[in-house]
């Protein structure tokens, strides 16, 4: 392992942990709003951490730029689509889960 | 077996079985929306399979067309189907299918079975070990004008294939328009979030189309990938509530639709007049001609796909009594 | 490092199964849309890990394509699967 690997590996592994947590939420949470809540965070942070890990390993600034650009695009799209889905679900009267 | 090999084996068997299972689920699902979601998932898994096989050109095309635009087209069809069904159930007068109609429904199944049988036969009759034509392609790559062997095959060695494919796309759109298109659909205006997303993402998509077009000269990319990205920009604009106005539909749209096919025909005629075969370029001009053809094709493919998603006959200001 | 990247990609691939289950089970159209959204992000991540693991820079372009096209498909779901006249596919 090179020194940069000591930084990259924890970032990559924790990124995947966020994805696993997100799918646990997708499987177990009781309604669409809570599932959305779990996923938007885990996806954006998970991809962010993995991109950060890959940036540490990247061998050119061009690759770094492309990786960050992809992350920004996913952030923008994810946030917007999550908003659209929630709004649509509320307008159509999908009820929120209560204990 | 070391860890990497084991992991690869697990990954590959999961993709293989997953693809078959998803294909069956998509076909067998009685709910159309569920079938479409599964179809999109199938497209993404297919694209991941191409990624795994290092076939980057096909992976790009599968992401853009297989999962992205086909999914959007199916959804548009579903939305219009739901509207039509609501009309039918309102009139409460559903014609029963006659025996001939029911028999005719079996015809596609028979045809598909024949196609599948032909495919199985041709796969079985392939020689067990063969390098295909890749050796010859590599040997002639120097004279093709590009460095990406896939682009060399699609636009130079077998340029007529691409020529015909572009005409097929154009014919599909002309077919939709000749049938009168669909009645205009009322869409709710876009909220601020969707508006912002469209404003930011549309220029990015157009830039990406140019990037994929340019990248196709040296590596994976090309007219179909670029055209699909451009088409996605058109789809996004329509989803945000934009409609092609009469001025655009009457002149610009039609001109761009025929630009790609027309350029192809002009270049084909030019090569024949110059005493060569159809679409056989002089090596010193090949690079320029391919880029020219691909640029035209990108614009035409993009606007054709956007037009198919639109699905209506364009409001061109003429009085086309529906 | 190649092995690690691949195993992480494999783990992400397994999370696609969770998304798939949600897409099939629903119960609302919103759940299915959510699943499509997850597919896109996960596919982007897997492709980026593959690009690094196998040293194939062109795969990052595929990831880029995944990112933008998944966004357009997801918007298409929200805007078209919930058309004004249409009814939700399944009531609660």
A-interface mutation test, from C25, C78, C92, most A Cβ less than 10 A away: C78
Q: How many CB atoms lie within 10 A of CB B196?
A: 14
> Cα B159 from chain centroid?
18
CB-count burial class (<10 Å; 0-12, 13-18, 19+) for B45: buried
Q: Tell me which chains share at least 3 CB pairs under 8 Å with chain B.
A: A, C
In angstroms, the CA B172 to CA B121 distance is 30
Give the residues across from B312 on adjacent strands: B181
Those of residues 32-61 in C touching chain B at CB distance below 8 A are 32-33, 35-36, 39-40, 43, 46-47, 50, 54, 56, 58-59, 61
Those of residues 25-84 in A touching chain C at CB distance below 8 A are 26-27, 32, 35-36, 39, 43, 46-47, 50-51, 54, 57, 63, 66-67, 69-70, 73-74, 76-78, 80-82, 84
Alpha-carbon distance B311 to nearest alpha carbon in chain A (angstroms) = 24
Residue B92 has pLDDT above 60, yes or no: no
Q: Is A70 on the interface with B (CB under 8 A)?
A: no
At residue B318, the pLDDT reads: 62
- Which of B193, B201, B204 lies nearest to residue A84, judging by beta carbons? B193
Asked if residues B251 and B322 have their Cβ atoms less than 8 Å apart, the reply is: no
Confidence class of residue C83 from pLDDT cuts 50, 70 and 90?
low
Rounded percentage of chain B residues whose pLDDT exceeds 70: 92
At residue C88, the pLDDT reads: 47
Residue with tokens 């539909």: B249
| A27, A38, A92, A93, B156 from A98: Cα distances, Å | 18, 17, 18, 15, 63
Which residues does chain A have within 8 Å of residue C11's beta carbon, measured at their own beta carbons? Answer: 16, 19-20
At residue C92, the pLDDT reads: 35
Residue B296 neighbours by CB under 8 Å, 6+ apart: B259, B260, B262, B263, B264
Half-sphere exposure of B73 (CA within 13 A, CB side): 19
Assessment of whether the complete model's pTM goes beyond 0.95: no
Q: Tell me which chains share at least 3 CB pairs under 8 Å with chain A.
A: B, C
> Cα B306 from chain centroid?
11
| B50, B113, B114, B276, B300 from B120: Cα distances, Å | 21, 10, 10, 38, 34
At residue C86, the pLDDT reads: 43
Q: What angle do CA B251, B256, B259 make, to 5 degrees?
A: 125
B-interface mutation test, from C1, C8, C70, C83, most B Cβ less than 10 A away: C83
CA trace torsion B7, B8, B9, B15 (10° rounding) = 110
At residue B302, the pLDDT reads: 92
In angstroms, the CA B62 to CA B222 distance is 13
Which residues does chain A have within 8 Å of residue C78's beta carbon, measured at their own beta carbons? Answer: 81, 84-85, 88
Q: What angle do CA A53, A57, A60 make, to 5 degrees?
A: 125
Alpha-carbon distance A99 to nearest alpha carbon in chain C (angstroms) = 17
Confidence class of residue B97 from pLDDT cuts 50, 70 and 90?
low
Determine whether the interchain pair B235/C65 forms a contact, defined as Cβ–Cβ distance below 8 Å: no
Size of interface B-C (CB pairs under 8 A): 168
| B259, C22, C36 from A88: Cα distances, Å | 40, 18, 16
- Which of A23, A46, A70 lies nearest to residue C64, judging by beta carbons? A70
Taken in order B246, B248, B253, B254, the sign of the CA dihedral is positive
Half-sphere exposure of B277 (CA within 13 A, CB side): 6
Eight-class DSSP state of C58 = T
pLDDT (tens digit, 9 = 90+) per residue, C36-76? 888 889 999 999 999 998 888 889 999 999 999 988 988 88
Determine whether the interchain pair C39/B72 forms a contact, defined as Cβ–Cβ distance below 8 Å: no
Residue C87 has pLDDT above 60, yes or no: no
Residue B94 has pLDDT above 80, yes or no: no
Confidence class of residue C89 from pLDDT cuts 50, 70 and 90?
very low
Confidence class of residue A69 from pLDDT cuts 50, 70 and 90?
very high
Which residues does chain B have within 8 Å of residue C5's beta carbon, measured at their own beta carbons? Answer: none
Alpha-carbon distance A69 to nearest alpha carbon in chain B (angstroms) = 11
Eight-class DSSP state of C92 = -
pLDDT (tens digit, 9 = 90+) per residue, B121-170? 999 988 878 777 788 888 888 777 788 888 888 877 888 888 888 899 99
At residue B155, the pLDDT reads: 79
Asked if residues A81 and C78 have their Cβ atoms less than 8 Å apart, the reply is: yes
């Amino acid at each position: 392992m090179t020194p940069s690997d000591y930084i990259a590996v924890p970032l990559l592994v924790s990124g995947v942990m966020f994805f696993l947590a997100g799918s646990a939420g997708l499987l177990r949470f009781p309604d669409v709003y809570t599932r959305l809540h779990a996923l938007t965070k885990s996806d954006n942070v998970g991809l962010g951490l993995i991109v950060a890990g890959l940036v540490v390993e990247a061998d050119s600034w061009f690759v770094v730029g492309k990786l960050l650009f992809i992350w920004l695009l996913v952030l923008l799209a994810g946030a917007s689509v999550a908003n659209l889905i929630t709004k649509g679900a509320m307008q159509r009267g999908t009820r929120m889960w209560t204990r | 077996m070391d860890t990497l090999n084991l992991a690869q084996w697990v990954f590959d068997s999961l993709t293989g079985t997953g693809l078959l299972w998803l294909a069956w689920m998509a076909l067998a699902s009685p709910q159309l929306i569920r079938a479409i979601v599964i179809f999109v998932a199938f497209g993404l898994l297919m694209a991941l399979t191409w990624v795994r096989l290092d076939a980057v050109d096909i992976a790009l095309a599968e992401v853009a067309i297989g999962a992205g635009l086909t999914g959007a087209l199916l959804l548009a069809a579903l939305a219009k189907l739901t509207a039509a069904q609501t009309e039918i159930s309102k009139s409460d007068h559903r014609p029963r299918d006659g025996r001939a109609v029911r028999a005719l429904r079996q015809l596609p199944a028979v045809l598909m079975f024949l196609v599948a049988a032909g495919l199985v036969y041709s796969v079985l009759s392939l020689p067990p070990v063969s390098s295909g034509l890749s050796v010859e392609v590599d040997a002639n790559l120097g004279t093709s004008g590009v460095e990406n062997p896939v682009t060399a095959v699609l636009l130079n060695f077998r340029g007529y294939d691409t020529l015909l494919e572009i005409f097929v796309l154009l014919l599909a759109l002309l077919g939709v328009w000749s049938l009168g298109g669909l009645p205009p659909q009322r869409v709710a205006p876009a909220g601020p979030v969707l508006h912002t997303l469209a404003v930011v993402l549309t220029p990015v998509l157009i830039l990406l189309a140019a990037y994929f077009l340019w990248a196709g000269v040296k590596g994976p990319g090309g007219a179909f990938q670029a055209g699909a990205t451009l088409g996605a920009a058109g789809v996004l604009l329509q989803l945000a509530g934009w409609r092609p106005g009469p001025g655009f539909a009457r002149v610009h749209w039609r001109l761009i639709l025929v630009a790609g096919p027309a350029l192809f025909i002009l270049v084909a005629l030019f090569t024949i007049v110059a005493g060569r075969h159809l679409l056989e370029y002089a090596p010193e001009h090949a690079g320029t001609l391919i880029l020219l053809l691909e640029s035209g094709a990108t614009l035409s493919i993009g606007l054709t796909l956007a037009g198919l998603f639109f699905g209506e006959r364009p409001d061109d200001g003429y009085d086309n009594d529906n | 490092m190649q092995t690690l990247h691949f195993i992480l990609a494999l783990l992400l691939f397994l999370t696609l199964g969770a998304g798939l289950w949600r897409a099939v089970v629903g119960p609302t159209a919103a759940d299915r849309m959510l699943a499509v959204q997850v597919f896109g992000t996960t596919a982007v991540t897997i492709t980026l890990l593959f690009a690094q693991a196998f040293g194939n820079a062109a795969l990052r372009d595929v990831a880029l394509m995944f990112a933008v096209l998944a966004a357009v498909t997801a918007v298409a779901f929200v805007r078209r699967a919930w058309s004004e006249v249409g009814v939700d596919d399944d009531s609660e």
